[in-house]
Amino acid sequence: MRSFIFIIVISAIVAVACSRPDEPAADVAPTMTVAPTPAPPTPAPTPTVPNLQSELLDERYRTTTSPIGGFDFKNFTYELPRGWQNPDGTAEIKLTNGRIAPIARDINEKMDDEAKLEARQQRRIGMSFVTARYFDVTGDGQDEAIVINKIETGGSAIPQVVYVFTWKDDKPELIWLFRTGDRADGGLKDIRPENGHVVVELYGQDRFLLGQMETGKITDDIEQLCCPTHFTRTMYKWNGKNFLMDKKRWTYLVADPTAPPVENMAEIVNAKAKTGSKK
Q: How sure is the predictor about 114, in pLDDT bands with cuts at 50, 70 and 90?
A: confident
Distance CA 163, CA 145 (A): 8
Q: What pLDDT does 43 receive?
A: 59
Q: What is the largest CA-CA distance in the chain?
A: 156
**Of the candidates 209, 194, 190, the residue with the CA atom closest to the CA atom of residue 257:** 190
Give me the mean pLDDT over the 195-199 stretch.
Answer: 96
For the cut 60, the answer to whether the pLDDT of residue 1 exceeds it is no
Q: Which stretches does DSSP call E strand in 153-242?
A: 160-168, 171-180, 188-194, 197-203, 209-210, 213-214, 230-238
Interval 55-68 mean pLDDT? 97
pLDDT tens for each residue of 152-179: 988 888 999 999 999 999 999 999 999 9
Between residues 2 and 53, the one the model is more confident about: 53
Q: What's the pLDDT at 275? A: 75
DSSP three-state, residue 226: coil
Mean pLDDT of 61-85: 96
Show Cβ contacts of residue 268 under 8 Å, excluding neighbours closer than 6 positions.
262
DSSP annotation of 121 reads H
pLDDT, greater one: 233 or 21: 233
Cα–Cα distance measured from residue 74 to residue 132, given in angstroms and rounded to the nearest whole number = 10
Residue 12 pLDDT more than 60? no
Residue 66 to residue 167: CA distance in whole angstroms: 8
Structure pTM? 0.79
Question: Mean pLDDT over residues 253-264, rounded?
Answer: 97
Lowest mean pLDDT among 37-51, 113-127, 191-205, 264-278: 37-51
Residue 273 pLDDT class (50, 70, 90 cuts):
confident
Summary mean pLDDT of the chain: 86
If we measure between CA atoms, which residue out of 134, 130, 132, 133 comes closest to residue 149? 130
